[in-house]
Chain A
Amino acid sequence: MARAATCAFVLALAAPAAQAQGLPDPLTDLPGDASRGRAIVLDQPRSLCVLCHAGPFPEIAFQGNIGPDLSGVGDRLTLPELRLRLVDSRRVNPDTIMPPFHSVEGLVRVGTQWKDTTILTAQEVEDVAAFLASLKGPSE
């Protein structure tokens, strides 16, 4: 119960502030490239995205439904908001099932070969964020 209360507290205080701001500053000097981002998203072993998310990706036969459909996500979230969710979705929702793609904070028992590495590099986050921001309108 104590842990649940703590989580509720964090959720109540931290989440709205983080949601409102997102991460306005790019992580890299090189601007995000939407076409590179698309390739990363569709490369399931590399980015894992389509394991859990569906989206306007006709070439992917099996798309997951654990997370929200990415169709039109560029209408729903701004680039800073997308960047924040990619870097560490826990800063929006502490209970999210979405892994932190560019943070090692608080991780437990990480495998030797993955220790102190992130799922995506800073540049990959920028590219994927640029691609997701470009997903406007209804599903293609």
Chain B
Amino acid sequence: MIRCVTVLAIGLGTPAAAAGDRQSGYEIMGPELRAMQDDEAANPGMLWVTEGAALWVAPEGAANRSCASCHGDAAQSMAGVAARYPAWNEAGQGPIDLTGRIGLCRTRHQGAAALARDSRALVALAAFVTRQSDGLPIAPDPDPRLAATREKGKALFETRMGQLNLACADCHDDAAGGQLAAATIPQGHPTGYPQYRLQWEGMGGLHRRFENCMSGVRAEPFGAGSPEYIALEAFLMSRAAGLPVEAPAVRP
């Protein structure tokens, strides 16, 4: 059904999110929120980044190793990493997102108990690692094995779901820039996750945002960490390629 919209749009006008016309959600925020994101002292996401920095050097698990024991200075070893995820996981022979990778490192290399995806510690570690890519352009992993994942994500993006019968593309491609009551609909580029959302009064990852959108259209969510969300993330990151990482981003 979305393909029809695209075909019709060629005859009727230019789709809102045409190539070269891409825009971070930052651009459509009010000046107060932009200032909050830009000012490290005012950006609430920096609390999680600081906690993540402490966790990075804290020995954990049976191996009594910290992240730094293997990866050293994150400013060196983690620069650009968040900008290219999701990546291919050799061990699992499938795609993996950054949160999943940090979780695997913890259980496999530190011998520590798994952390819940939405736990404060894992969100903080992901926020700290992503911070090392702040300002770098999103540069999707060129591994050809990820192509099928991105295709699956694109198909999900264009599939209408839920009682409201809406696909991601209906709002974030075709109606981006429009007003949904007080909210301006963003183009849906995941430039800054984990992010501090005023709506959450806290920090959360992209999959948490997916869960919100799914319940918004009254659809059955796939669940954080699901193959569907990883595929959607992989597609969205390729769609946002070149846009700078915002770490940590602040959003309404």
Q: Which residues of A contact B (CB under 8 A)?
A: 3-4, 7-8, 11, 44, 48, 50-52, 61-66, 90, 94-95, 97, 99-100, 104, 106-114, 117-119
Contact = CB atoms under 8 A, between A and B. Distances in A.
Contacts of A3: 1, 3-4
Contact of A8 (B7, B181, B221): B7
A95 B170 CA distance: 10
Interface in B140-188: 159-166, 170-171, 174-175, 178-182, 185
A111 B163 contact: yes
Given A3-B4, A111-B218, A99 B182 contact: no
Given A64-B179, A94-B1, A112 B220 contact: yes
B220 A109 contact: yes
B215 interface: yes
A90 B162 CA distance: 15
A94 B4 contact: yes
Given A50-B181, A97-B170, A109-B219, A114 B162 contact: yes
A8 B4 contact: yes
Nearest to B165: A99
B9 to A, nearest CB: 10
A114 B163 contact: yes
Interface residues of B, number: 31
Dominant SS among interface residues on chain A: loop
A62 B163 contact: no
10 contacts: A4-B4, A62-B179, A65-B179, A66-B180, A97-B166, A99-B163, A100-B165, A107-B162, A108-B159, A110-B220
Contacts of B1: 3, 7, 94-95
Contacts of A90: 165
B181 A108 contact: no
B166 A108 contact: no
B178 A64 contact: yes
B219 A110 contact: yes
A63 B5 CA distance: 24
Interface string B1-45: 101111110000000000000000000000000000000000000
A44 B183 CA distance: 14
Given A62-B182, A63-B181, A117 B163 contact: yes
